[in-house]
Amino acid sequence: MALYSDTVMDHFQHPRNVGKMEDADGIGEVGNAVCGDIMRMYIKVKDGIITDVSFITFGCGSAIASSSMATEMIKGMPIEKALELSNKAVAEALDGLPAHKLHCSVLAEEAVRAAVKDYYDKHDIAYDPAIFGCDLACAHEHDHTPTEE
């Protein structure tokens, strides 16, 4: 389908690092089922480096592809570097996303940050809360009020 780039289709049809991780050091979940997309990211950390990462995602083709791409991008990265991963970088690595699908790349960025935050919290690692912004749970703002007909 021409809706997506070949890279998106490749990552959607052959997602990298997909699956749950039993012994993860940090788990981040963002999105909500009402909106139609949820991403859960697992990270394994050693000496400040993300040594392993995996994901499971409920969502459309671009949500799955964005998760897959984000895991590839942060694998082997120092945590501080992973926190700098932007939705723009994910979308660019995918050779672009349709405008109405850009929120999927935002979700991927947020999932990585949520996993890192969880890792920090679980391991009593001090951090400046400001780096995680306001509220990860409301990563993307959708209006669920049914339209009055």
Binding site for another protein (CB under 8 A): 1, 9, 12-13, 15, 18-20, 29, 33-40, 56-61, 63-64, 100-101, 142-144, 146-147, 149
Q: Which amino acid is at 36?
A: G
Q: Which is nearer to another protein, 36 or 133 (CB)?
A: 36
d(C-alpha 131, C-alpha 64), whole Å: 25
Pick 29 or 118: Cβ nearer another protein? 29
Q: Which residues on adjacent β-strands are paired with residue 55? A: 18, 41
Q: How far is the CB of 53 from another protein (least distance, A)?
A: 14
The DSSP annotation for 65-105 comes to HHHHHHHHHHTT-BHHHHTT--HHHHHHHTT---GGGHHHH
Question: Is 104 known to be catalytic?
Answer: yes
Per annotation, catalytic residue among 60, 104, 134, 138 = 104
CB of 34 to another protein, least distance (A): 4
What is the spatial distance between Cα 45 and Cα 25, in angstroms, rounded to a whole number? 6
- What are the two backbone dihedrals, phi and then psi, of residue 58, each rounded to the nearest 5 degrees? -105, 120
- Between 61 and 90, name the residue whose CB sits nearer to another protein: 61
Which residues are known catalytic residues? 35, 104
